Chain A
Amino acid sequence: MTRHRNHGLGRLVARRLLVLPVVLVAVAAMTYLLVAVSPFDPMSAYEAGSAGLSAQAKDEIRAAWGMDAPTYLQFLHWLGNVLQGDLGHSRLLGGQPVLPQLGARLAPTAILVGTALALTLVGGLLAGVAAAAFRDSWVDRAIRGLSYVSVAAPSFWTGLLLLWVFSSWLGWFPAGGSANLRARDVGLVDPRYLVLPAIALAATQFAWFAMFVRNQLLEVMREDYVVFAQAQGIGRWPVLLRHALPNALLPFLTLAGVHLAEIVGGTILVETVFSWPGLGQLAVEAARAVDLPLLVGITLLGSVTVVLGNLLADVCYRVADPRIRESTA
């Protein structure tokens, strides 16, 4: 069995990783294409800050940034550089190489997304199990109510509410940023600054996940193997947690990728509300400025995250469900 499983998983991982570069090139080409057909022009975005440039000055600036060639040539040029490990230089970031700049800016967003993901999973799991275990009781009603509210509330609203209550009013948490601005030698982020934005970001997915766990559990509780486990005298919680829950969570792994993408996308609003120094804000800036190398770099980073996240979820799914594990062998 073990040999088979590894074989099947190995092939799955290898296949996906082989496809990844193709996906990335396609995403990059798509981004270039979108910019080419969009009415937005890097030069006019540039000019919005310094109006009234002469045609000659515009031409000089275009030439300096390689923006004078047709978009498809720019893309091919970019592609050629990528093969040498160069993702281009960003006008928005002082003309610095995109890759190391993104690397430097990735950490705060990754920490935020990771924390929010953990909060969503743990919080949603606890809430979903509690709601299912005490179905129709006040616990269930309270959790369902909270979920409906948090589904309906946009994340910036949740964020502002959190700030108002826990920062301005109670003063428990700072009002934004990722570290004390007065402090020297701060680390990547200060945990106190992480709490509120992580909750705001997690809130966007919490409701979905809690309700998913609850409904899935109630569904699975009717399955023969759960009834059989009960009939053997296995206690209520072991039945719920050891028999029903693993089966209830299996379908989640197939959906995890989609929701990972939503969380990654959600960082844009949350980072703005909490002045969190991450890629979400930078992405907006890059789009506004039509800074193609940066925009493509961020898009690719997002794509890699989502593809790898999906792959991880699929691997987990196969490891978690022995039936699928077998059939991929």
Chain B
Amino acid sequence: MRLRWIVALTAALSLGLAGCSSQPNSSAASGDQVDRTIVIGVGGEPSNLNPVFGDIYGSVYGDHWPVFSSLLDYGQDLELQPDLAAELPEVSTDGTEVTVKVRDDARWHDGEPVTAADVAFTYNAILDPSVATPVRDLLFRSLRKVDALDAETARFTLHEPDQAFLAKLTTGIVPEHVLAGQDLNKAAFNLAPVGSGPFVFDELRPGERIVLTANPDYYGGEVGLERVVVTFVEDESARVRQLETGALDVDAEGLGPQTIRRFEDNPDYRVVRIPGDLLTLTLPTTNAFFKQAEVRRAIGKAIDRQQLVDGLAAGAGRVVSGPFYPDHWATDPSVSVAYDPDAARAELAAHGWKPGPDGVLVRDGERFRFDLIYGHGYAEDAAALAIRDALGNIGIEVKPKALDYAEQQKQVAAGAASLQGLGNAYDPAIDVFDTYHSSLSDDDPSGNVARVESRRIDAAIERGERSNDLAERTAAYHELHRLLVEHGSWQYLMQGDNYYAVRADVSGVEPQVREGHVHGFSRGLLWNLADWSVSGP
């Protein structure tokens, strides 16, 4: 399940105070001892550096920060490739056993060899109910146990076949010899980790920076950067200032579409753009206004998606029609949703909604008026207001309500319409069941928030999950795409881009093709950090 309140639309007001002039690298010239160091700015301070607890930013895919290595890994085009695994894993014919060979040349940063026992230790730690990790529930419900058959072979035993399981083998592997017998929740390792990846953890200066140094014994070859400093700067305008004064080389948190403009024409910087989350509007079927699919679809027709792209993403995003990224194999390219407010009005009129004296639709004395729930934020406000205006145009009164997470959960579970960010760059099987399967349509707000209850949709989800054949799976997800558009309880609106600024003297920056979420220093922009280098100090 990969559903987040829209945080990926990183449009934010730059205070515009920074930078009448820039002094590149002024701080480097001040006499301190400096190296060929790269300084990367991210938003927040990680609360845990141990991959057993998931992404160091609290989400589940950011398993690949470069102190650690994982069995498998995504390449630039998001294709799975072996990392610690010697080759792609072997899946048994019934799909319940996955066998992985661990490469024999990988060593921990303390010199010990990486073995299958470490692999088993890592995944069994995740499965241990006393370990407070969300990953167990979010990713590994299908996993029963892991055994080290010998020093080089690990076998995963599943409760049931899981098409997305290989995509989950990207969790960083932790060293058993360091952690065995410890309470993982409180291990000192969590803030002073030992890994086997291209960079060695050097130092965490609380509230300020993590310092990594190149791993000279990395099995993956020579590491280009001598030293990586990751610094935590939450405020966007502060990151911009630090970029422009040369204190930062890279903004890996993402800058808003307005802010990024100041770097676009500047030869000292390179602007990196990576497609981000989908902006969606949910219209739960349990809400009296949204009972009929025709009404839900009419609402979808009233929203000019291209206008949203122009307004919210400064024209640099794209219109989407369905639940998957537009260039993903699961997307059916033939589907589109037309903007047709007249048809929307007619459809609503056919369902008894007629304009009242003030233009708002009325049926049996009831006004068409609903709350729109969303999370706090400038970009979120802008999106909610755009929806309000679009629907106001056909006589539906929308009241945007920015709430904190717990309150959002409550209201959405009670059937309120909401703005959701949706993004899964990987295998659809990872999240479509949780998001759309009728078995999760209940009062628990953790799954199927729009209360989609359709046998045909359930069947398409199950087909896509069960099959091993890509053509069959593609057909299943294309059908799911069409069925969801027809259902109308999710209105897929647009995909914004994430923007990153990198100093021009950094080379090797080849971002992955997609990344739905801002992951700080894993994936997306920084997936190949080990290949980067800097030409100057």
A interacts with B: yes
Q: Which residue of A has the minimal Cβ distance to B22? A: A168
Please judge, given known A-B contacts A53-B134, A169-B20, A278-B207, whether A180 and B54 are in contact too, CB under 8 Å. no
Across chains A and B, which 5 residue pairs bring their CB atoms closest together, nearest first? Answer: A49-B58, A277-B207, A94-B190, A57-B137, A183-B32
Q: Which residues of B contact A15 (CB under 8 A)?
A: none
Nearest CB in chain A: distance from B52 CB, A: 11
Contact A168 B18 (CB under 8 A): yes
Q: Which residue of A lies closest to B186 (CB)?
A: A95
Give the residues in chain A near B229, CB-CB below 8 Å.
181-182
- When the two chains form their complex, are residues B446 and A177 in contact, meaning their CB atoms are under 8 A apart? no
Binds A, one of B83-91, B99-107, B230-238, B271-279: B230-238
Q: Which of A52, A95, A180 contacts B48 (CB 8 A)?
A: A95
Q: How large is the interface on B (under 10, 10 to 19, 20 to 34, 35 or more residues)?
A: 35 or more
Task: Write the B42-81 contact mask toward A (1 if CB under 8 angstroms, else 0).
Answer: 0011011110001001111000000000000000000000
Docked Cα-Cα span, A40 to B404, in Å, equals: 9
Please state if A174 and B447 are interface contacts (CB–CB under 8 Å).
no
Asked if B208 and A277 make an inter-chain contact with CB atoms under 8 angstroms apart, the answer reads yes
Answer whether residue A225 sits at the interface, using C-beta atoms and an 8 A cutoff: no
Task: Check A49 against B59 for contact (C-beta < 8 Å).
Answer: yes
B208 touching A96 by the CB < 8 A rule?
Answer: no
Could you tell me the distance in whole angstroms from the C-beta of A63 to the nearest C-beta in chain B? 8
Q: Can you list 6 A-B pairs, Cβ within 8 angstroms, ordered by A?
A: A53-B137, A91-B47, A92-B47, A167-B245, A180-B27, A181-B229
Contact of A81 with B by CB under 8 A? no
Say yes or no: A176-B205 contact (C-beta < 8 A), given A44-B405, A164-B18. no
**Chain B min CB distance to A143 (Å):** 27
Complexed CA–CA distance, A41 and B406 (Å): 8
Please give 20 more A-B residue pairs, beta carbons under 8 A apart, in addition to A50-B59, A65-B132, A171-B21.
A44-B405, A50-B134, A53-B138, A65-B185, A94-B49, A94-B190, A105-B206, A168-B245, A178-B208, A179-B208, A180-B28, A180-B34, A180-B247, A181-B231, A181-B247, A182-B34, A184-B32, A184-B35, A192-B30, A275-B233
- Across the interface, do A181 and B47 meet the contact criterion of CB distance under 8 Å? no
A40 and B406 in contact, given A52-B446, A95-B185, A277-B206 (Cβ under 8 angstroms): yes
Contacts of B185 in A (CB 8 A): 64-65, 89, 95
Q: Which residues of B contact A (CB under 8 A)?
A: 1, 3-5, 15, 17-23, 26-28, 30, 32-35, 37, 39, 44-45, 47-50, 54, 57-60, 129-134, 136-138, 185-188, 190-191, 205-209, 229, 231-235, 237-238, 241-242, 244-245, 247-248, 404-407, 409, 434, 444, 446-447, 537
- Asked if A182 and B186 make an inter-chain contact with CB atoms under 8 angstroms apart, the answer reads no
Q: By the criterion CB–CB under 8 Å, are B241 and A176 in contact?
A: yes
How many residue pairs at the A-B interface have CB separations less than 8 Å?
202
Q: For the complex, would chain B's binding face be called helix, strand, loop or mixed by DSSP majority?
A: loop
Which residues on the B side are within 8 Å of A96 (C-beta)?
Answer: 186, 188, 190-191
| Known contacts A168-B241, A182-B34, A177 near B235 by CB under 8 Å | no
Residue from B39, B406, B446 in contact with A53 in the complex, judged by beta carbons closer than 8 Å: B446
Write the nearest CB–CB distance from A9 to chain B, whole angstroms: 37
Q: Are the C-beta atoms of B58 and A50 separated by less than 8 Å?
A: yes
Residue from A49, A52, A182 within 8 A of B27 (CB atoms): A182
With known contacts A52-B446, A182-B27, A95–B187 Cβ distance under 8 A: yes
Contacting pair A181 B39 (CB below 8 A): yes
> By the criterion CB–CB under 8 Å, are B28 and A182 in contact?
yes
Residues of A within 8 A of B37 (CB): 181-182
A278 to B205, CA, bound (A): 11
Q: Which listed residue, A44, A94, A179, touches B47 by the CB 8 Å rule?
A: A94
Q: Are B406 and A39 in contact (CB under 8 A)?
A: yes
Known contacts A96-B186, A277-B206; decide if A60 and B129 are in contact (CB<8 Å): yes
Q: Verify A50–B60 contact, CB threshold 8 A.
A: yes
A55 to chain B, nearest CB (A): 7
